[in-house]
A = this chain, B = another copy of it.
């Protein structure tokens, strides 16, 4: 491809509304151009990077017997009603009505469609297992699209769905896809981690995320050499701090004391001259039980910890995400305003974070405004509904093998879910087993954000001059800067190299514009293709061209005949 054919103009300045470096670089280099909030046109370079990544994804999936199909983007309401998600799915679901008054949505995911697609084809146990996938444009009506392709409305995704006889076979499919994903992301040449994750809207009971590590990643991860989890779900194995001062170990009778105007743990800590971790805080939640009933509950945890609502929901098997009670609701259940509340005398269930187990007694609010109470002992002074892991893990906590958690940031680019029969039951995806008995097919679903991954690679691999594409997804491998386009001999040199590389099937880009060398160098660094060749009149006289490696800046001159060999050697090495 030649620059003059692309219609691309680069930008020198960082565009407004680009908070992430990768977003700014992609806009500046003409890789993407905003049409409207969250809607982008992918320019010629971006399309090539996307296609290269799609190629990797297809190759690895096909190699492991996954089969490609393509489902409609527009989906009829009926199947979403059948799965129960027409109402339950959140506002990201873009609905519409056609001129015949039929309702549709734009697919953010395809569990319903694939279930409908396969169900007539699966009749007997002999028809299973299999795994289908598609690479397709998806749509989510993000309320606040941002970070370029990271949180766009329209984006490209690879979604795969596995169909198995039983849970055991389905877990094998899950593990297979997990290893396919590892193969895919390994080929990108950027650091990534597989982390334990929340199943979110999709449902199911096992899921892991694939994250490309990057300083500006949206998600906080806790990792050790052998373990990784998203902060949102990371279990607490061993606490970062198991020491307590004397005060936390007393077994004396309850003792109320006046704490005028002290409404926060920080203030109480100052007042008592005790670390926050020695104090006990209480939070009140409204929880929806599986019966649908809403119930207020109280949660105790160390004053220095943070309550994790995901864990509350998961550990208590709640139907929806719990919500915090309002101040007036708290007053109603405890008798006091927030800041003076505690477990003693409550009539609602009181749960306790596991980290409080070593405490023999607590200092808590007294359920009387401006009073606290010490020597509170569980089961003596209040009834305990349960003990569990309810807090966020934090840096310094230890993993399952005792190694200390490090915090890092990641960009979620892939997600694997074991679904079980969540969809197959509602969508009636069944088979007859060997005994002729009807059984529900066990499903898994697996996504890779194609466009998101490409931007994540840029986020992970750039410097202040521009992008540094890894070979695997580089739009072009070689960028020829024709420095004296007016000089016939130089032009021929560049054209010959361009043609030779094309013949060798090396992806080559030729900057044939009438621009000064400085402009071309800056643009080449911005676009960031792995190898640049400077072809100018002065070196050209001597039959030489300069090869520059984008990542290292290493540069060396070669004769026209040597350079092809040198490039091929470098490209194949990567």
Q: Which residues of A contact B (CB under 8 A)?
A: 1-2, 4-9, 30, 33, 35-36, 39-44, 46-48, 50, 65-76, 78-79, 91, 94-100, 104, 106, 113, 116-118, 120-123, 126-127, 130-132, 137, 139, 141, 143, 153-154, 163, 514
Contacts and interface: CB of A to CB of B under 8 A. Distances in A.
Nearest to A96: B96
Given A5-B67, A7-B127, A9-B127, 15 more contacts: A4-B130, A6-B130, A7-B130, A8-B121, A33-B117, A39-B76, A41-B72, A41-B113, A46-B70, A47-B70, A48-B68, A74-B139, A94-B96, A96-B97, A100-B143
Contact of A514 (B47, B71, B118, B126): B126
A118 B69 contact: no
B68 A7 contact: no
Contacts of A514: 126
A57 to B, nearest CB: 14
B73 A73 contact: yes
Contacts of A30: 121
A42 B67 contact: no
Nearest to A33: B117
A261 B220 CA distance: 89
A157 to B, nearest CB: 13
Contacts of A70: 41-42, 46-47, 50
A34 to B, nearest CB: 10
Contacts of A9: 120-121, 123, 127
Q: Tell me the dominant secondary structure on chain A's binding face.
A: mixed
Contacts of A120: 9
Contact of A72 (B2, B40, B74): B40
A288 to B, nearest CB: 24
Contact of A7 (B122, B139, B153): B122
A471 B48 CA distance: 27
Contact of A69 (B41, B104, B106): B41
A2 B62 CA distance: 11
Given A47-B70, A73-B154, A143-B100, A130 B41 contact: no
Contacts of A126: 514
Contact of A137 (B35, B73, B99, B113): B73
A103 to B, nearest CB: 11
Contact of A39 (B4, B74, B137): B74
Contact of A99 (B91, B100, B104): B91
B72 A44 contact: no
A71 B41 contact: yes
Contacts of A121: 7-9, 30
Given A7-B122, A35-B75, A132-B7, A67 B96 contact: no
A176 to B, nearest CB: 13
For A78, A120, A122, A137, which residue has the most chain B Cβ atoms within 10 angstroms?
Answer: A137
| Most chain B beta-carbon contacts within 10 A, residue among A66, A71, A98 | A98
Nearest to A99: B91
Contacts of A67: 1, 5-7, 44
Nearest to A43: B69
Contacts of A153: 74
27 contacts: A5-B131, A7-B130, A7-B132, A7-B163, A8-B121, A9-B127, A35-B75, A35-B76, A35-B116, A36-B75, A36-B76, A36-B78, A39-B74, A41-B69, A41-B70, A41-B71, A41-B113, A42-B70, A43-B69, A44-B68, A44-B69, A44-B132, A47-B70, A74-B139, A91-B99, A99-B143, A100-B143
A143 B101 CA distance: 11
Nearest to A154: B72
Nearest to A11: B120
Contacts of A78: 36
A35 B99 contact: no
Would you list the 9 A-B pairs with minimal beta carbon distance, nearest first? A96-B96, A36-B76, A39-B72, A42-B70, A9-B121, A7-B130, A41-B71, A44-B67, A98-B141
Contacts of A98: 94, 141
A163 B69 CA distance: 35
Q: Which of A35, A40, A68 has the most CB of B within 10 A?
A: A35
A35 B427 CA distance: 14
A104 B39 CA distance: 11
B113 A35 contact: yes
Nearest to A40: B72
Nearest to A78: B36
A47 B35 contact: no
Contacts of A75: 35-36, 39
